Amino acid sequence: MSYIPLFIIVALAFVIPMLSEKLRIPAVVGEVLCGVFLGFLGFSVSEAHGVAFLADFGFVFLMFLAGLQMDFSQTSVRNARLFLLSALIYCLTLSISTTLMHILGLPFCLALAFSTSSVGLAVSTTRELGISTSEYGQVILINAFIADFSTLLILTVLTMQIERGISFDLLLILLLFLLFLVLYFVGKVAVWRFPEPISALFDASRNSELGVRASFALLLVFVVLSEIVGVEAVLGAFLAGIMISLLGGGTLLEQKLYGIGYGFLIPIFFINVGISANLTFISDGIYMLPSLLLVAFTAKILPSLLLLTRYSLKKSISAGILLSSRLSLMIAIATILLKLHLIDNKMASSIIILAIITSIVCPTAFKWLQGSDTAEAEQS
């Protein structure tokens, strides 16, 4: 096996964040664009089996970190009506997306891609503005969490229905959630009964790195369980991340897992995504971008007007704009739909470009709107 393809990708993954920082774009965007350039040059990882595996595992690890990123301590809103409001906003988003897909004559499955939000961008943007702990910031985060989790669950059901048809196999998803609940309660009891051994197990400061090893073991437990019950491995990875978040893995452990993921595995996945989305497909599908952008913003901003019951029109629209930012999960959904042959390469490439555009425009617009709110408050 040649290490040259891996060397090229890792070397680029080292340089890209520095260039992205100067260009003021997310590093993920730079990785995808770099992959597009490599694809244009004829670079491929299809024959480099080791790199292809790392890209696939990077996808699984990305979903694991997405679950880990769901910081429930930040979203412990006392009023349950906020959760219900967020769920209603998601249902309306999915309905609008589905309707617009029908009007545009596009596959209904694409409505899932437009129903997502970027948890990572929502968390980083609200924290940067210092509003993540406010009720307004938490509502945004709850909306993003519900959108990603619900979309991933629906995607899993859709995948099983396509591969096996409507059968009792769909109940296996409930079995996976049942196993999740069992392991969660066992973990909670273990933390309560044996706090010191469990704390030592997840102590990321130990040289043996038992915390990292335990995290990978838990990840693979859920991935293997997902394969056994016949559902998407990414759902199991997502649940594993939520499990560690709920049990309180610790900041140092999370930093090390983020380092492994975003420092090595995930860049390989995103560069490979860009390689697959070659310039031929992008140029063929570029004419669809205006209508897709219209769907992307309409499906999020219109439902966000429900927030008018609690906030001003400007804040409601601002929330919808930030929730319109889609990146990792939208690209992941495009990858899955392409593998299922529900969309073609041209559409997948258009979705990837759309994710890149919204990830740049939406957080920037939200920061500007919040900044103008602050300036108005200071003047008054």
Cβ–Cβ < 8 Å for 157, 239: no
Question: Rounded to whole angstroms, what are the CA distances from 373 to 144, 176, 315, 378?
Answer: 22, 45, 9, 9
DSSP character for 350?
H
Q: What are phi and psi of 80, to 5 degrees?
A: -65, -20
- Separation CA 360–CA 224 (nearest Å): 35
Type of residue found at 55? A
Give the number of residues written for the chain.
Answer: 380
Q: Of 328, 284, 276, which Cα lies nearest the Cα of 119?
A: 328
Prediction pTM value: 0.73
Cβ–Cβ < 8 Å for 16, 65: no
Report pLDDT for 78. 47
Radius of gyration of the chain (CA): 21
Q: Of 11, 94, 58, 76, which Cα lies nearest the Cα of 262?
A: 58
Cβ–Cβ < 8 Å for 144, 363: no
Residue 195, CB-side half-sphere exposure with 13 Å CA sphere: 1
Going residue by residue through the chain, which has 380 residues, state the pLDDT in tens, using 9 for 90 and above: 678 888 888 899 899 888 888 887 777 778 888 888 888 787 776 656 678 888 889 888 988 887 787 666 555 544 567 788 889 999 999 999 999 999 988 888 899 999 998 877 787 788 778 887 688 887 888 898 889 888 888 888 888 777 766 666 667 777 888 888 888 888 888 777 777 776 666 665 666 677 888 889 999 999 998 888 777 788 888 889 888 888 776 677 888 888 898 889 888 888 887 787 655 666 666 778 889 999 999 999 999 999 998 899 999 999 999 999 887 788 888 888 888 888 888 888 888 888 888 888 888 889 888 876 655 544 54
Q: Of 41, 27, 70, 46, which Cα lies nearest the Cα of 266?
A: 27
